[in-house]
Amino acid sequence: MGRSKCCDEEGLKKGPWTHEEDQKLLSFIDKHGCGSWRGLPAKAGLQRCGKSCRLRWINYLRPDIKRGKFSLQEERTIIHLHALLGNRWSAIATYLPSRTDNEIKNYWNSRLKKRLTKMGIDPMTHKPNGAAGSSKYVANLSHMAEWESARLEAEARLVRKSKIFFNNNNNSHNYNINPTTISQQLPYYQQLPCLDILKAWQTTTTKLPTIHDISHAILLNNSRNKNLESSIPSTLNSSENIFANNVPTTTKVGDDHQNFHNLSTINSCFEDDQLQTELPSFMQDFSGVFPEYTQNSTNGLQVDNIMGSFYGDFEDNKLINWNNFPNYLVNSPIGSPVF
């Protein structure tokens, strides 16, 4: 029963790989491809266990690995994803295709975590130290993470399929979304940010998303869309917009001070000039939802300090126009298994 006896690991070499070993492994994989790690070392003439060979290939020798300094965009993606998914490095790595989970994990542990700590932010909860946590917020984030986890798994399966689909169907759209919207569509990868996280989250709660939730999802998906060639058609029908049964249709910005603080602290990890440039940009994308912002945004956002104000041009009595929000969701380029 079962498989044949596993390789005997006694006498196998451990520790850092030499250039010669790398060449042997590369040469073998070049000729025979990777996989069947168990038998690979003997065939390649290596005194290593298959597990060690696999790790060396995946984390170091693979040709599609991007090495070197992490960009600000990548840093931001990691921080936002970590806030959402926790220490699920392989899931986070799917949003940074050229980076390995090991590299992201190391980068987080050696730099980002310390940087957040220095700034008075708990790297695990992504909340300011000492601040009273909002259990409701944490619960919502947890819901989002669960759905996002499921979506990630499904998306991974669908990515390959979708690429073939789009290659073969460039001129024959047949998706279950608003045809009026379709006629105005840019290619999927050029559309407004995907908001499937919010869509998924919406299935778990009747509460309207906060500005924090929206901003978080927008930033996350903007960065993902820049990094991932994922073009899966949405299956969301326009009549199924997430706000169909929700009231009120507007929310006072001032109701969300706590969440503003959360977003503010996350984004305070970045240079102010970047924040000043990029945050207004995505707010402008959502001009229908944030009318007050676009009308009064000449001065950009104000970020004074770590706990600084993110309110910018928002005032307590300004309203978010939730009625316009479904339009953005319908335009979402990436499908979700839960819709």
Which spans in the chain are helix H? 19-32, 40-44, 50-56, 72-85, 89-93, 101-107, 113-118, 135-168, 179-183, 196-204, 211-227, 257-267, 272-285, 291-295, 325-330
Report in angstroms how near the CB of residue 90 gets to DNA at its nearest.
4
Q: Tell me whether the omega of the peptide bond preceding residue 248 falls within 30 degrees of 0, making it cis.
A: yes
Report in angstroms how near the CB of residue 194 gets to DNA at its nearest.
22
Taking the least distance from each CB to DNA, the nearer of 14 and 31 is 14
Question: Which tokens sit at 281?
Answer: 């940009």
| Choices 108-116, 159-167, 241-249, 308-316; region in contact with DNA by CB under 7 A | 108-116
Q: Is 15 in the site for DNA (CB under 7 A)?
A: yes
Of the residues 5, 19, 31, 160, which one makes contact with DNA according to CB under 7 A: 5
**2 C-beta neighbours (distance < 10 Å), count:** 4
CA distance 160 to 125: 34
Residue whose C-alpha is closest to residue 250's, from 309, 318, 338, 315: 318
Residue whose C-alpha is closest to residue 80's, from 172, 167, 144: 144
Report in angstroms how near the CB of residue 86 gets to DNA at its nearest.
8
Query: Count H helices, E strands: the chain?
Result: 15, 4
Report in angstroms how near the CB of residue 224 gets to DNA at its nearest.
17
Report in angstroms how near the CB of residue 338 gets to DNA at its nearest.
19
Q: Is 170 in the site for DNA (CB under 7 A)?
A: no
Of the residues 11, 14, 171, 245, which one makes contact with DNA according to CB under 7 A: 14
CA distance 104 to 2: 36
Binders of DNA among 26-85, rule CB under 7 A?
35-38, 48, 50-52, 54-56, 59-60, 67
CA distance 296 to 313: 6
Residue with tokens 């790595």: 93
Taking the least distance from each CB to DNA, the nearer of 22 and 285 is 22
Report in angstroms how near the CB of residue 80 gets to DNA at its nearest.
16
Taking the least distance from each CB to DNA, the nearer of 125 and 327 is 125
Phi, psi at 105, each rounded to 5°: -60, -45
Of the residues 10, 11, 16, 167, which one makes contact with DNA according to CB under 7 A: 16
Taking the least distance from each CB to DNA, the nearer of 31 and 69 is 69
Q: Is 117 in the site for DNA (CB under 7 A)?
A: no
Question: Which tokens sit at 158?
Answer: 């669908």
Report in angstroms how near the CB of residue 186 gets to DNA at its nearest.
32
Q: Is 169 in the site for DNA (CB under 7 A)?
A: no
Residue whose C-alpha is closest to residue 72's, from 206, 270, 241, 230: 270
| Choices 97-105, 184-192, 215-223, 326-334; region in contact with DNA by CB under 7 A | 97-105
Of the residues 23, 71, 98, 106, which one makes contact with DNA according to CB under 7 A: 106
If binding means CB under 7 A, how many residues of this protein chain bind DNA? Answer: 41
Q: Which residues contribute to the site for DNA (CB under 7 A)? A: 1-7, 13-17, 35-38, 48, 50-52, 54-56, 59-60, 67, 87-91, 101-103, 105-107, 109-111, 114
